Amino acid sequence: MHKPILFSMSMYLATAWTTFSFAQTQSPSPFDAGNIKIIDLGLSLDAKNPFWPGDNYFAFDLKTISTLENDGVLSKTFSMPEHLGTHIDAPNHFEKGQPSVDEIPAEQLFGPGVVIDISMKAEVDADAWLTINDIRDWETDHGEIPQRAIVLLHTGWGRFVKMPSRYQNRDTLGKMHFPAFSPEAATWLIKQRNIRGLGLDTMSIDRGISTKFEVHHIVNGAGRYGLENVMHLDMLPPCGFSLIVAPIKIAEGTGGPTRIWAVVPNE
């Protein structure tokens, strides 16, 4: 299974580079390389990124430490929690004895992509979650989820990311309400489809109202990773594309900011 996927990816990248080399200086967004489109699914990091409520969490901070005018070089320093913006939850985030972010094998960070859309459910119920029946309905329409895929959940919540209070969606008691995976669906995807990881367009792979973080424990306990605050899922087809997941490589880190690219064949 690995060889055809890796071969296809090498062909995709070779095509992209060849086309890019002869393309006009002004490239469209998403990048269109003729045979493929490369779509960036990440947020730009800045102080406006929503962050998890808690005493030890804080906003992204960027400071200039040298300038071209005074030092001949422009350089900056930044500080942020590991789990901010578009980021990865490494397996050690919720489970002992599991790999840190720098220990995730590179081959686990590339694979076929799948998007399951529950945005209509989430529009009606902010506490909606992906069920096994939703997955079966998706497979009826699109075929079986490939083994070792990376499964993304489109909840529609990404449209609120520039409005942190709406993105968190707290009630009068301070509890957050946003959709995610159900524990049953996460378990099924791991056991039945051997997925590499899963992600979505909210702050957590568990619902906002979760207090036990069952999905995190299930996913991390199986040595898999989660991807949170993944954007532009409405731009992707349900299947037939590849994903490249490129997290920052922090030694012993539990996660970190992550670039995610979808490599989508043009029709």
pLDDT digits (tens, 9 = 90+) for 101-135: 999 999 999 999 999 999 999 999 999 999 999 99
- Separation in Å, CA 72 to CA 63, 68, 69, 218: 17, 4, 6, 50
Helix (H, G, I), strand (E, B) or coil at 116: strand
Q: What is the C-alpha to C-alpha distance for residues 255 and 101, in angstroms, rounded to an integer?
A: 5
Looking at domain 2-265, which CATH architecture does it have? 3-Layer(bba) Sandwich (3.50)
Q: What is the C-alpha to C-alpha distance for residues 156 and 71, in angstroms, rounded to an integer?
A: 45
Contact 63, 78 (CB under 8 A): yes
pLDDT at 85 over 50: yes
Q: In which band, very low, low, confident or very high, does the pLDDT at 5 lie, cut at 50, 70 and 90?
A: very low
pLDDT at 3 over 60: no
Crossing angle (nearest 10°) for helices 183-193 and 214-221:
20
pLDDT of residue 30: 56
Q: What is the C-alpha to C-alpha distance for residues 109 and 120, in angstroms, rounded to an integer?
A: 29
Q: What is the C-alpha to C-alpha distance for residues 109 and 248, in angstroms, rounded to an integer?
A: 12
Give the Cα-Cα-Cα angle 164, 114, 201 (nearest 5 degrees). Answer: 5
**DSSP states along 125-163:** -TT-EE-HHHHHHHHHHH-PPPTT-EEEEE-SGGGGTTS
Place of tokens 């056991």: 191
To the nearest whole number, what is the mean pLDDT of the chain? 90
pLDDT at 80 over 70: yes
Using one digit for the tens of pLDDT, what is the confidence trace for 241-267? 999 999 999 999 999 999 999 999 987
pLDDT of residue 54: 84
Average confidence (pLDDT) over 57-62: 93
pLDDT of residue 34: 72
pLDDT at 137 over 50: yes
Contact 99, 249 (CB under 8 A): no
Average confidence (pLDDT) over 80-95: 97
Q: Which residues of 178-197 are buried (b: 16+ CB within 10 A; e: fewer)?
A: bbbbbbbbbbbbbeebebbb
Contact 207, 178 (CB under 8 A): yes
pTM of the predicted model over 0.75: yes
For residue 154, the cross-strand partners are 117
Average confidence (pLDDT) over 53-71: 94
Domain ranges of the chain: 2-265
Average confidence (pLDDT) over 75-90: 97
pLDDT at 2 over 90: no
Contact 58, 218 (CB under 8 A): no
